[in-house]
Amino acid sequence: MANYTNGYNSLPHSHSTTPDPLGRDGAQSANGTIKVQPLLCSGHTRPVTHLQFSNLLDDGTYLLISACKDGNPMLRSWLGDWIGTFLGHKGAVWSSKISLDTSRAVTGSADFTAKIWDTNTGEALHTFAHNHIVRSVALNPQSTPQYLLTGGHEKKIRLFDLGRPDAEPLVLGSNPDGLSCEGNVRSLVWDEGSGGTMGVSAAEDGKVRWWDLRTLSQTAALDLGEPITSMELAHGGGTLSVTAGKKVHFLDILRQHPPVTVELPHPPTSASLHPFLRDRFVVGSTNDPWVRVYDLDSGQEKEVYKGHHGPVLCASYSPDGEVYASGSEDGTIRLWQTNPGKSYGLWQTQD
């Protein structure tokens, strides 16, 4: 991949394994014998609002894309190294995602636009204008034909045909007022199964909605009773992690199994389920700068680490489950090992 322009006079510092001089970065493991040292990924200048890892690539690596209020989403390698910055938005970026084949990225912004990007060159391939803030975007899992879902403060979910980017988008739902949801759309997910025909939305009206994208009609809804703050699809598919109030709801995307709900002592900003073990999840919170991992069955806190110097706004597991990333109000991303002490990437232990 080409290192396209980043808008800085020099490359942003990509990672650091130097402990915080005040001893605040990382923590001891539960048995007290292993120092947990996160990798610091800097370069953003405002709060990091959203993180997404790509699927595993053929060589076993993956990519990480970050959205930020500085308006400059960034692409990084699995090591946390900066690859490039997508330049063109004129407002905060709330959502950033990578296509399954990693050739494209999509972003949604407070500048009332969504943009499609070439991840190899950093070029903006098309800009889709909206009438209000775009809070979430999603690309269909198929490489051809390609479609884009967008949603935000208009309360409309739009479906764009990327093969005809200048064509008018379709709007999901059949409400007389033309709205798809009764509240601002916070998150959109495109199911990687079901032939790419199903989308799921989460809105501040507290409802998760399932959509048939062939007919643009709503097929099911679940009312969680509280404004939804985030929704993410676990790597490997199957399970949605939805945060609302102080609860994390784990939903079967096919609706064949009842929801599993875990209530936390703090309101989570986002939650990510481990892609393989499916027995733990990582969350952030606006209440403090700590990153927490919880046991799914018991709801008990398994790990808690402080590395950030502001609230943690987003958290996500890597596709191989070896790492989770956290993004913070402090403008940094930190990468944490699932198994501290294991040789992996830049974390190398001596035998």
Residue 142 included in any domain: yes
What pLDDT score does 268 carry? 97
Is residue 151 within 8 A of residue 180, CB to CB? The reply is yes
Res 349 pLDDT > 90: no
Res 143 pLDDT > 50: yes
User: Which residue from 139, 140, 158 is spatially nearest to 97, judged by alpha carbons?
Assistant: 139
Domain membership of residue 152 as a residue range: 39-337
350 falls in which pLDDT band (50, 70, 90)?
A: low
Residue 347 included in any domain: no
Strand partners, 211: 199, 218
What pLDDT score does 29 carry? 45
d(CA 180, CA 201): 10
d(CA 82, CA 339): 24
d(CA 135, CA 121): 25
- For the question of whether the overall pTM of this predicted structure is more than 0.75, the answer is yes
Number of domains in the chain: 1
Mean pLDDT, to the nearest integer, of 98-107? Answer: 96
What pLDDT score does 195 carry? 82
Percent above pLDDT 90 for the chain: 84
Tell me the pLDDT of the chain averaged across its residues. 91
Res 185 pLDDT > 50: yes
d(CA 257, CA 255): 6
Residue 59 included in any domain: yes
Res 205 pLDDT > 70: yes
What pLDDT score does 24 carry? 38
Give CA torsion, residues 314, 77, 74, 192, to 10 deg.
-60
- The domain spanning residue 133 has which CATH number? 2.130.10.10
Mean pLDDT, to the nearest integer, of 204-210? Answer: 98
Mean pLDDT, to the nearest integer, of 130-146? Answer: 94
Residue 185 included in any domain: yes
pLDDT digits 0-9 by tens, 284-318: 999 999 999 999 999 999 999 999 999 999 999 99
Q: Is 12 left (phi over 0), alpha (psi -120 to 50) or beta?
A: beta
Mean pLDDT, to the nearest integer, of 16-37? Answer: 50
Residue 343 included in any domain: no
Residue 18 included in any domain: no
d(CA 250, CA 201): 14
Q: Which residue has the tokens 């110097």?
A: 309
Q: Which one-letter amino acid corresponds to residue 87? A: L
11 falls in which pLDDT band (50, 70, 90)?
A: very low
Q: Which of 9-23, 201-215, 261-275, 331-345 has the lowest mean pLDDT?
A: 9-23
State both tokens at 315: 């958290």
State both tokens at 233: 């699809």
Residue 178 included in any domain: yes
Residue 6 included in any domain: no
pLDDT digits 0-9 by tens, 209-225: 999 999 999 999 999 99
State both tokens at 219: 């097929």
d(CA 159, CA 139): 10
26 falls in which pLDDT band (50, 70, 90)?
A: low
Count of residues making up the chain? 351
pLDDT digits 0-9 by tens, 150-175: 999 999 999 999 999 999 999 999 88
More confident residue, 225 or 36: 225
13 falls in which pLDDT band (50, 70, 90)?
A: very low
